[in-house]
Amino acid sequence: MRNLSDMMADSKIFASREVLSPHYTPKKLLYREREINNIEKALAPSLKGDRGRNLFIYGKTGTGKTSCTRYVIEEVKTLPNIKAKITYINCRLYNSRFRVLNKVISDHLPTYAKRGFGAVDLYEKLTSWIEEDNKILVVVLDEVDLVKDLDDLIYTLTRINSDIRAGGVTIIGISNKVDFKAALDPRSLSSLYETELVFAPYYATELSAILKDRVNAGFKKDVVDEEVLHFVAAMSAKEGGDARFALKILTKAGELADEHEMARVTMKEANDAAKLAENEIVYDVVSTLPEHQKFVLYAISLLTQSGGSYKKLTDGVDTYLFSGEVYHRYKSLTEGMKKEAKSERWYRKYLSELEMQGLIASFESGKGIRGHTKLIKLLYPPKKMCEVLQKEIFGPQKPEETGGVAPERDNA
Task: Check residue 381 and give its pLDDT.
Answer: 84
Average pLDDT, the chain: 86
Task: Let me know: does 170 contact 85? Beta carbons within 8 Å.
Answer: no
This prediction's pTM: 0.74
Query: If pLDDT is split at 50, 70 and 90, which confidence band does 411 have?
Result: very low
Q: Which CATH number fits domain 4-12+202-287: 1.10.8.60, 2.30.40.10, 3.90.1580.10, 2.40.50.140?
A: 1.10.8.60
What digits encode the pLDDT tens for the residues 305-331? Answer: 886 454 555 555 567 898 999 999 999
What digits encode the pLDDT tens for the residues 240-273? Answer: 889 999 999 999 999 999 998 899 999 999 999 9
What digits encode the pLDDT tens for the residues 100-141? Answer: 999 999 999 988 866 678 889 999 999 999 999 999 999 999
CATH code of the region 289-394 = 1.10.10.10
CATH code of the region 33-198 = 3.40.50.300
Task: Check residue 86 and give its pLDDT.
Answer: 96
What digits encode the pLDDT tens for the residues 157-203? Answer: 999 998 998 899 999 999 988 777 877 888 778 778 789 999 999 99
Task: Check residue 287 and give its pLDDT.
Answer: 84
Task: Let me know: does 129 contact 112? Beta carbons within 8 Å.
Answer: no
Task: Check residue 176 and give its pLDDT.
Answer: 85
Q: Which of 24-38, 267-281, 313-327 has the lowest mean pLDDT?
A: 313-327
Task: Check residue 410 and give its pLDDT.
Answer: 34
Task: Check residue 399 and give its pLDDT.
Answer: 56
Task: Check residue 400 and give its pLDDT.
Answer: 53
Task: Check residue 365 and give its pLDDT.
Answer: 66
Task: Check residue 333 and give its pLDDT.
Answer: 94
Task: Domain ranges for the chain, please list them.
Answer: 4-12+202-287, 33-198, 289-394
Task: Check residue 6 and give its pLDDT.
Answer: 52
